Amino acid sequence: MAGKTLVVACALFLGMCFITNGAPNEVTHAFCKIVWLLGIPCDEVNIAIVTQLKAMGSYKLGSVTAALIQATHNSAVGQVESVNFTMIPTAMGLGCHVEGSSVSAFWYSLFDNGTNYCNLHNVIQGSGLTKAPGFAEFTNEWLCLGFGLSACK
């Protein structure tokens, strides 16, 4: 009986069921994913992001490779978020596809007023990459909780 009820619940809340089965963390932790496209090579993007993370006091740089930059961010209220920037070269290495991901460590920050969005956006903004040729940012409320509410400082 319990199994049947679950199937019905999934049918009614298909989106929720998908999220719950696919990535449990994303239900209990606030998160944000952003995709950026830039018309400059990934190694330039990598250097700009690392330089910016080092310059911003609230970030602690973790492991850095050509493809992945990991860091943590301390927001003012003593919360910690884990932040990743994943770089994938586009056609012939002339451009770079960057995926930013920020996840809060604690469930109570589920409604984070855009903290996770700003964690990612502020780095790219501060690094000057928003002025790179062909720059574009893609996200929405499904990928990025609180995106609509965010007012990054």
Ligand X SMILES: *[C@@H]1O[C@H](CO)[C@@H](O)[C@H](O)[C@H]1NC(C)=O
Binding stretches for ligand X (CB under 6 A): 70, 82-84, 101-103, 109, 111-113
Whichever of 40 and 62 has its CB closer to ligand X, that residue is 62
Closest separation in Å from C-beta 23 to ligand X: 10
Q: Which residue do the tokens 């700009």 mark?
A: 48
Cα angle 69-54-101, degrees, rounded to a multiple of 5: 35
Whichever of 46 and 82 has its CB closer to ligand X, that residue is 82
Cα angle 30-125-121, degrees, rounded to a multiple of 5: 10
For residue 38, the cross-strand partners are 96
Closest separation in Å from C-beta 115 to ligand X: 7
Closest separation in Å from C-beta 34 to ligand X: 11
106: Cβ contacts below 8 Å, ≥ 6 apart = 29, 79, 80
Whichever of 40 and 80 has its CB closer to ligand X, that residue is 80
Whichever of 28 and 134 has its CB closer to ligand X, that residue is 28
Closest to 19 (Cα-Cα) out of 31, 37, 8? 31
Closest separation in Å from C-beta 12 to ligand X: 29
Q: How many angstroms separate the CA atoms of 139 and 124, rounded? A: 14
